[in-house]
Structure 1
Amino acid sequence: MKQLFMIPSELYQNRKLIWTLAKNDFKTKYAGSYLGIIWAFIQPVVTVLVYWFVFGVVRQGAPKAVPFVLWLVCGLVPWFFFQDALVQGTNALIEYSYLVKKVVFKISILPLIKVISAVFVHVFFVAFTLVLFCCYGKFPDIYAIQLLYYSICAFALVLSMTYITSAVVVFFRDLTHLITILLQIGVWMTPIMWDFVDMGISENALVARILKLNPMYYIVSGYRNALVDKQWFWEHPGQTIYFWAVTVVLFLFGTRLFKKLKVHFADVL
């Protein structure tokens, strides 16, 4: 039991250091470029515009409860955070290898630093989404409070995964390229640009049930439930229990694996 809570305890004890390093990581990521941190927002905005043009203008699917661009943004915003945090968190130990080699430094905080750094951009895009809804006359109501809950869900999921990937990538560098490929597949396997109605798939079909096993389905659907469909998360108890069960298992497995392998990190790096 002591080993089980060792890493969460280390994270809490070093919370001030984590916050400071996360802010510095976000600032230095784009240091040296003319536009600086603006680059953190340009690529996601361009991606939204491209997908909106292709799926909302060129190929129009079934009518939505809100303009397609609003429906699309609700799915892309949590995916952007998940993608950025997972990629950056996976390479945390490699990027901060000089800290890993320090005996007294708590290297268990490094993946968390990268995930928090990605949160700064995510907060901007959540605010951007709310403003965009207002521009279309769709003012957020009390259901929008759930955006905080679903953001916590995304944070917990990606942190759990980065403890696994950041530990493994030290010994298997090809994992970085593998994750990039899986993310490219994942963005299409998750109903972000499409939904089951557009694809002619029944909600209870076998294919739909398999796709719903993806934890990101719960989060993407949650953002839309909060802003479009006006549903509370407790109205989907089965999906909620499944998501948190998967996340807890991933976190327990990830922290245990990280702790087991960390004695070898300095030697390999």
Structure 2
Amino acid sequence: MKEVITLIKEQIQNLPIMFRVSKYQDKSDYQSHYLGIVWAYLYPIIQILIYWLVFGVGLKKGTSGSVDYLTWMVIGITPWFYMNSVTLDASKSIYQQVGMVSKMKFPVSVLPSIKILTNLSSFWAMLACSIILGYLKGGVLPNLYWIQWLYYFFAMICWLLAFGIFNSTVTILVRDYRIFLQSIMRVLFYMSGVLFNFETNAFPAFFVRFLQLNPFFYIVSGFRESMLGEAWFWQKPMLMLIFWLTVLFFLLVGSHLHYKFRARFVDYI
């Protein structure tokens, strides 16, 4: 637990630097492109249109209850795109920049967190689009449940921090891990309720309960329940407990591995 406290202190103390670096990375990543940072918003929109055409129109496999499928999908795919990008970017954050950081007074532990901040701009843009689309196409209006977006956003950041520090450290120790993680994230995309509404009578109850153990499923489902006004987060206490225990587990293990091997990161690379 001491290592977790140290990790959190490093994040808080270096917030100004993290914001500056994330702003610089936003510009540098797209400076050679004609459309520049517009691609950060355009690419997810193109992906959404493809999934909608394939699953919502073509195969007609998307089920969303009484809500328009495109609206239902966009609400869930918005946090997924963000979590997927942060997870993969954070996993290679230390590996790519540890050489530079080792020469500066800059804690390596903040590198995964910088990826959390770097991807926030596209997340806010997509969230705004999902709200507008929900109103225009699905007739979704603001409701009291929207307040709990604050909870699910906080839960999402905590999960990404814990999972990010774990993945970034293991990637240094086991080089093949990142390839394995990419494969796992592809599977989780279909198993996190992004395209299909598993919480219906069409799927076995034991299968749904198994999927609900997935932290990504918890966040995606939570954003939908908030926007569509379906349930409060405290109405599922067992799922909430499992989620936070999972966050704590990865935070404890990730922090321990990070501080145990941090002095030798350059040697491993």
TM range (shorter): over 0.9
- For 2:168 and 2:63, locate their aligned partners in 1 and report how far apart those are by CA, in whole Å: 40
Partner of residue 70, structure 2: 69
Alignment of 1:1-269 (within 5 A): 2-60=2-60, 61-62=62-63, 64-102=65-103, 104-136=105-137, 137-196=139-198, 200-202=202-204, 205-269=205-269
| CA shift digits 1:89-124 (9 cap, x unpaired) | 111112223323226321111111111111221111
Q: Which runs of 5 or more structure 1 residues have no equivalent in the other structure?
A: none
Give the C-alpha shift of residue 229 in structure 1: 4.2
Give the C-alpha shift of residue 62 in structure 1: 4.4
| CA shift digits 1:31-75 (9 cap, x unpaired) | 211111111112211111111112211233546222110111111
| CA shift digits 1:109-163 (9 cap, x unpaired) | 1111111111221111111111111222322222122223212212111211111
Cα pair distance change 1:215/1:63, threshold 3 Å:
closer
Which consecutive segments of 4 or more residues in structure 1 shift more than 4 A? none
Cα pair distance change 1:105/1:62, threshold 3 Å:
closer
Cα pair distance change 1:103/1:197, threshold 3 Å:
closer
Q: Taking structure 1 as the reference length, what is the TM-score of the superposition?
A: 0.92
- For 1:33 and 1:218, locate their aligned partners in 2 and report how far apart those are by CA, in whole Å: 36
- For 1:194 and 1:57, locate their aligned partners in 2 and report how far apart those are by CA, in whole Å: 13
| CA shift digits 1:171-225 (9 cap, x unpaired) | 32222221111111111111111123678213xx222221111111111110110
CA RMSD of aligned residues (A): 1.8
- Contact 1:70 1:132 survives alignment (8 Å): yes
Q: Number of residue pairs matched?
A: 267
Q: Taking structure 2 as the reference length, what is the TM-score of the superposition?
A: 0.92
- For 1:30 and 1:90, locate their aligned partners in 2 and report how far apart those are by CA, in whole Å: 21
- For 1:267 and 1:3, locate their aligned partners in 2 and report how far apart those are by CA, in whole Å: 22
Q: Percent identity?
A: 30
